[in-house]
Amino acid sequence: MPDTATHRIFNFSAGPCTLPLPVLERARDELVDYGGTGMSLIEMSHRSMPVVSVFDEAEALMREALSVPASHHILFIAGGATFQFAMTAVNLLHGGKTADFTHSGAWAKKAIADARKVGRVNLVFDGTDANYTTLPDPAGVACSDDAVYLHLTSNETIGGVQWKAFPRVGRPIVADMSSDILSRPLPFEQFGLIYAGAQKNIGPAGVAVVILREDVLAQCPGDLPGYLNYAGHVEGQSMLNTPPVFQVYMIKLVLEWLKEQGGVAWAQEAAARRSEAVYDAIARHADFYRCPVDERCRSSMNVVFRLPDEDLEARFIREAEAAGMSGLKGHRSVGGCRASLYNAMPLEGAEALASFMDRFATTHG
């Protein structure tokens, strides 16, 4: 049941999305007077001890949550994942280098478009003809000889496809993990650079977490304009300029909450149970709901599904909203329905949706 003391509904939005209630409550309680200092954290100098501690703790908690090895730096960079489409390209493809990309959907497409403005892009997989409903077998992905990295989008938030394992291609993978980071353990030895906009499993929008391997950093040109230069962010310990303090503070709170729940191992198990509840409801009413995504790569974070026609979809979304479940409309570019089930979505939310889907299919099927 939605929380009744505070008015909260089940929010299935794709991001910004639901955040853990204890995190929001703590942020509320600490906003005006942070730790007895008589001022808010967002009123303080970013060089002051409380702010520096928040950044240090957020980084340490992220390292612990994902078991990030010492070979990788962890950065918080303003501008979200979209800025990372450009920043990865200017740092890694400078001088017209080549990268291999997997074109898995709407988000990969944006990363590819930016990379093409800087270097050469070679597509080793193109899901366009399949309407972005599938991904290649990781074992079958082979890189071109001159590719300096392979880019992939670990989870396509709009299309609902997710890599369940990652290719081993003998060169660094650069991955956009905006919509599934912190939902499973990661094989860091395969990743040269991971970036993720925060507004799904990490915290509020406007900042990206970047996890960058030392040898990849060493290849970035030193003469890029300041803010575009990863080395400057490493040197400045994510405080190259006045940083997004509130966002990083919220990230710290989310990571503390995640740790209390049982960390990424808990998140992985919880994601499987939530998404199974919804995929099972789709399967129970296979003549009414349809998930277009290849079963091998169905996302545990964004479950996309169609109903028999658009009128029924509109009615489904309207009636779900009236029953306390919002954000179920598919992305405007593809239509249909989408349930985003990030870490902060309780299992009861997914179960409530599954029951609603049962009732709706029985009534309208």
Known catalytic residues are: 107, 176, 200
Amino acid at the residue 231:
A
- CB-nearer residue toward ligand PLP: 157 or 275: 157
Q: Report strand pairing: 207-213 vs 72-78.
A: antiparallel
Position among 68, 77, 81, 186 found at the interface with ligand PLP (CB under 6 A): 81
Position among 157, 247, 340, 343 found at the interface with ligand PLP (CB under 6 A): 157
Window 202 to 261, contacts with ligand PLP (CB under 6 A): 205
Q: How far is the CB of 323 from ligand PLP (least distance, A)?
A: 26
The closest residue (CB) to ligand PLP is 80
- CB-nearer residue toward ligand PLP: 233 or 357: 233
Position 133 contacts ligand PLP (CB under 6 A)? no
For 213, other C-beta atoms within 10 Å of its C-beta total 18
- Per CB under 6 A, the segment of 131-139, 172-180, 248-256, 336-344 that binds ligand PLP is 172-180
Helix axes 106-116, 80-92, angle to 10 degrees: 40
Position 88 contacts ligand PLP (CB under 6 A)? no
The Cα 154–Cα 173 span in angstroms is 11
Asked if 145 contacts 74 with a C-beta cutoff of 8 angstroms, the reply is no
The Cα 200–Cα 212 span in angstroms is 20
The Cα 202–Cα 178 span in angstroms is 9
Q: Report strand pairing: 72-78 vs 337-340.
A: unpaired
Q: How far is the CB of 224 from ligand PLP (least distance, A)?
A: 20
The Cα 212–Cα 336 span in angstroms is 36
Position among 11, 88, 91, 153 found at the interface with ligand PLP (CB under 6 A): 153
Q: Convert 313-334 to b/e letters by CB count within 10 Å (16 or more is b).
A: beebbeebeebbbbbbbbbeeb
Position 179 contacts ligand PLP (CB under 6 A)? yes
- CB-nearer residue toward ligand PLP: 227 or 308: 227
Asked if 202 contacts 251 with a C-beta cutoff of 8 angstroms, the reply is yes
Count of residues engaged in binding ligand PLP, rule: CB under 6 A: 12
Position among 147, 176, 216, 297 found at the interface with ligand PLP (CB under 6 A): 176
Window 5 to 34, contacts with ligand PLP (CB under 6 A): 15
Q: How far is the CB of 107 from ligand PLP (least distance, A)?
A: 4
Handedness of CA 107, 109, 110, 114 (dihedral sign): positive
Beta bridge mates, 194: 175, 211
The Cα 68–Cα 266 span in angstroms is 17
- Per CB under 6 A, the segment of 75-83, 116-124, 238-246, 320-328 that binds ligand PLP is 75-83
Q: Convert 187-199 to b/e letters by CB count within 10 Å (16 or more is b).
A: ebebbbbbbbbbb
- Per CB under 6 A, the segment of 86-94, 176-184, 226-234, 325-333 that binds ligand PLP is 176-184
- Per CB under 6 A, the segment of 61-69, 77-85, 123-131, 275-283 that binds ligand PLP is 77-85
- Per CB under 6 A, the segment of 80-88, 96-104, 117-125, 330-338 that binds ligand PLP is 80-88
Position among 22, 26, 42, 82 found at the interface with ligand PLP (CB under 6 A): 82
| Dihedral in degrees, nearest 10, Cα atoms 23, 28, 31, 32 | -160
Enumerate binding residues for ligand PLP (CB under 6 A). Answer: 15, 80-82, 107, 153, 157, 176, 178-179, 197, 205
